[in-house]
Every structure is written in structure tokens, then in C-alpha cells.
Amino acid sequence: MIRNSREPKSDRHVLATVFAIGGISLVIGFLALANPHIALSAALRGVAVWWDILFPALFPFFVMSELLLGFGIVHLAGTLLDPFMRPLFRLPGVGGFIVAMGFASGYPVGAKLTSRLMEQKLVTRDQGERLVAMTTTSDPIFLIGAVSIGFFGSLQAAPALAVAHYSGALLLGLVAGFRSRASGDLSLTPPKPPGGRLRAALQAMHRARIADGRPFGVMLQQSLQSSLTLIVIVGGLVVFFSAVLDLLLHSGLLLLFRDSMGELLRLIGLSPKLAPAFVSGTFEVTLGSKAAATVPGIPLVDRVAVAAFVLSWAGLSVHAQVAGLMSRTAWRYLPFARMRLAHGILAMAIVYAIWPYLGPSAITGSASIPPPGMNAMVPGSPHAVLLPASSFFSSAAWLPFTFLLTIAIIIAAGSVAAALAAIRRGR
């Protein structure tokens, strides 16, 4: 009886979803037929950026993630980080490696790694959803090189953006861990291995390698094949959203959204001039960040706060990439979207909270014109954005620095959380 009462509701939900997707597809198809030159130029731009930027930027990380799992490196790191991740985020130790890689590499690498962990049953659906939400972040090269230098025209916006973006993600993971009902089956204090944690970590790596069992040549071939399939999916989504955004902007269908956002901003004390940045950022992170930086006559703190929101929301283009990477798991989109929205709001609040202590001076130069020496492209976006050439000479150092810094923060904060948990148990 209960099952029958629920079936019509489920059927109505599926039917409504089908009609919504069908209606949106018809609108987009009509716009493409009415403006074929706009759709074609946007699609070609998306293909060019995917081939020139996304492919070389993401493909090596996709292959590396497969190899790290196959060789058991992720299992080794997970065993070492287990005592810190459990009391801090209510996640197994392998999550610490994913968090560090996600922060260092940017979206959507965290989703790629998490999907593999879920497929191998190393994390549950609840844990995987929290991991994806926490690790869908910008990489530091894009945040500093493109947004701070390229759009705002100064490095002085970087501290506020970095602190708000990354600390917001960590705080979000912390709160989500405490609120998660499904994390109750995860002991906050893993048992101490009899031979020491390092030995246990090496044994875990060895067991994972034996369980995988593939020769290196086969592992490399399969890693390349699966990574190539995924990067093609990502490329298709980039091309699609590039065309859709240009068509919607040209048709004027987003004017109502822009006006409504302007009224909402007015209610919370912000200028309606920032509404176009939110509209662009809803679909694409690069355009939204640039629009926030270039709004004239707006205080710097407001523009940085909006850019922090856009970076943390990440745009529907990145959402679609994450959904494509997670399609073979039980991952759900709606919890992810709520977490992205919460991350954006939290990042904005952090900018306003820390701004008086950072005190960057006002930016007087035009952020819409790239400074001299910009000759490289930003990865991860269907729209071309120039980066300063000087930022790329240090890119090899940024990845290990961000990775190790994130690991250090997890160890320090996890140690404090473990100590507090031990004190509570002793009472």
C-alpha cells in the first residue's frame, strides 16, 4: 500500500523532469536554428579551448589519478591520513588525498578521483558527495593569475579570494561532516595498527597493488583509454555550454534573470550593477569573475566578494563536467548544487569578514585590459582568457605547494579534533 502511494509521486516527478528537459532543449534548438552563426562560432571557440587548454591541462591529471589508484598510492596516503580525516571531516583517510589534489589541480579533478573511490567502494555515497562538494574548487593558478592579476589587475585581491575560497570549502566540509547522519558508522578513532601506521600504510598499498593485478603496460593503456573517454565528455560539455550561453545572451532571455538578481542585490545592500556578474557566473566561472572585476563605480570589496561567490559556485559548465564524471556512481546532483550555493554564500561572507584585516588598496587600473606580458591561456573555461606568462613559470611549484599545504592543514586541524574527541571521551 505504501509503495503504491509513492509510485504516482515518483512518476509525476520523472514526467515533470522529462518535460522540463524537453522544453529547454526545444528552446535551445530554436535559438540555434534562428542564430546558426552564433552557435557555430561559440561551438568552434569551445572546441579550440578544449583542444588547446583543457586537454593538456586535465588529461595528465586524469591519467595520473588512475595510476595512483592502480599502484596503491591513494591507499597508502589514506591510511596515513585516517587519524586526521575521521575526527575532522567524518571521512576516511583517502579523502585527505582527494582534498589536497582537488585544491591543487582545480575542478573537476576532485570529481574524477572521487568517482574512482566510489567505484572501488572506498567511500560511501554520502562520503563521496561531501568529497565532491568540498573539492570542486579553483586551482591557485587560475585564482591568482587570471582573476587577481588578469581581471582585477593586482595581486592584492588574491589573499581575500584565496582565503575565502579554500577556507570556505574546508568549513563546508567540516559542517557537512557533523550534519551527516550517514557518517555515524565511521569510527572517529581508527584502531592503531600493531606494527605502526607507516607499516600499515605500506601494507595497504601492497594489498591494493595485488588486488589490482594488472601489469604496468595494461594499467597504462587502460588509464589512457578511460581518461581519453572522460576528457572527450568534458570537451563536449564545454562546447555545449559555450554555445548555449552565447545564444541565451544574444536572445535576451536572461534579462528577466538579471533584473530579478538586481532587485535581490538591492535588498541585501549591494549594487544592482553587479547583477550581470551573477548571471554570467551562473553559467560560466570565467565570464562571471571577469564581469565582477570590471563593474565600474563599485567598491573593491563588493567586487571581490562577488568574484568569490562565482569561483565557489563554479558555474553550470563545471557542474555539468562534474555530473559527467560522476555519472557511473550513485552521486546526486541536487545536494551538490546546494553545497555549491552554500559555498558561494559562505565565501562572500568570509571576504567581508576578513577584508578589514587584509586592507588591500583600491585598484585604479582597468581590469578589463590584460596587463603587459599576458600570453598564455586559462585552463578550464570555454572562453579564452589570458594569463601572465610569469605565472606559468611557477606552475610546477604551485601544485606541490598547494598539495603539501593542504595536507599540513588537515594534519594540524585533525590533530586538534582528535585531541578534543579524546578529552570528551575521557569525561
Q: pLDDT tens digits for 287-310?
A: 888 889 989 989 999 999 999 999
The per-residue DSSP string of 46-97 comes to HHHHIIIIIHHHHHHHHHHHHHHHHHTHHHHHHHHHHHHHHHHHS--THHHH
> Using one digit for the tens of pLDDT, what is the confidence trace for 149-202?
888 887 778 899 999 999 999 999 999 888 775 555 555 666 677 777 788 888
Residue 15 has pLDDT above 80, yes or no: no
Q: Which of 19-33, 229-243, 320-334, 355-369 shows the lowest mean pLDDT across its residues?
A: 355-369
Tell me the CA distances in angstroms from 27 to 32, 250, 318, one per residue in order.
9, 13, 22
The DSSP line for 8-21 is: HHHHHHHHHHHHHH
pLDDT at residue 148 above 80?
yes
42-56, 125-139, 173-187, 203-217: least confidently modelled range: 173-187
Work out the burial of residue 196: count CB atoms within 10 Å of its CB; fewer than 13 is exposed, 13-18 middle, 19 or more buried.
exposed
Q: Show Cβ contacts of residue 37 under 8 Å, excluding neighbours closer than 6 positions.
A: none
| Contact assessment for residue 47 and residue 235, using Cβ atoms and an 8 Å cutoff | yes
Give residue for cell 556578474.
277
* C-alpha span between 73 and 98 (Å, rounded): 12
pLDDT at 392 over 70: no
**pLDDT at residue 1, rounded to an integer:** 43
pLDDT, averaged across the chain: 81
Looking at per-residue pLDDT, the higher value among 340 and 393 belongs to 340
Q: Read off the pLDDT band of 360 (50, 70, 90).
A: very low
Q: Find the Cα–Cα–Cα–Cα dihedral 166, 167, 169, 174, rounded to 10°.
A: 150
Higher pLDDT, 67 or 33: 67
Q: How far apart are CA 230 and CA 49, in angstroms?
A: 16
Which secondary-structure segment (H or E) carries 386?
A: strand 386-388
pTM above 0.85, yes or no: no
Q: Which pLDDT score, from 0 to 100, does residue 194 have?
A: 72
Tell me, what's the pLDDT at 369? 39
pLDDT class for 384, splitting at 50, 70, 90?
Answer: very low
Mean pLDDT lowest among 54-58, 184-188, 325-329, 399-403: 184-188
Torsion angle of the four alpha carbons 282, 286, 289, 290, in this order, in degrees rounded to the nearest 10: -120
11 vs 190: CA distance, rounded Å: 43
Instruction: Report CA Rg, the chain.
Output: 22
When mean pLDDT is compared across 141-155, 258-272, 304-318, the lowest value belongs to 141-155
What pLDDT sits at residue 309? Answer: 96
pLDDT at 332: 92
Phi, psi at 265, each rounded to 5°: -65, -35
The pLDDT of residue 136 is: 93
Query: 6 or 76: whose pLDDT is higher?
Result: 76
Range ranked top by mean pLDDT from 13-27, 155-169, 232-246, 366-380: 155-169
> CB–CB of 303/161 below 8 Å?
no
Distance of CA 351 to the CA centre of its chain: 19
pLDDT for 161: 94
Digit-coded pLDDT (tens) for 101-132: 889 888 888 998 999 889 888 889 999 999 99
pLDDT at 226 over 70: yes
Q: Cα 61 to chain center, whole Å?
A: 15
For the chain, the domains span 35-426
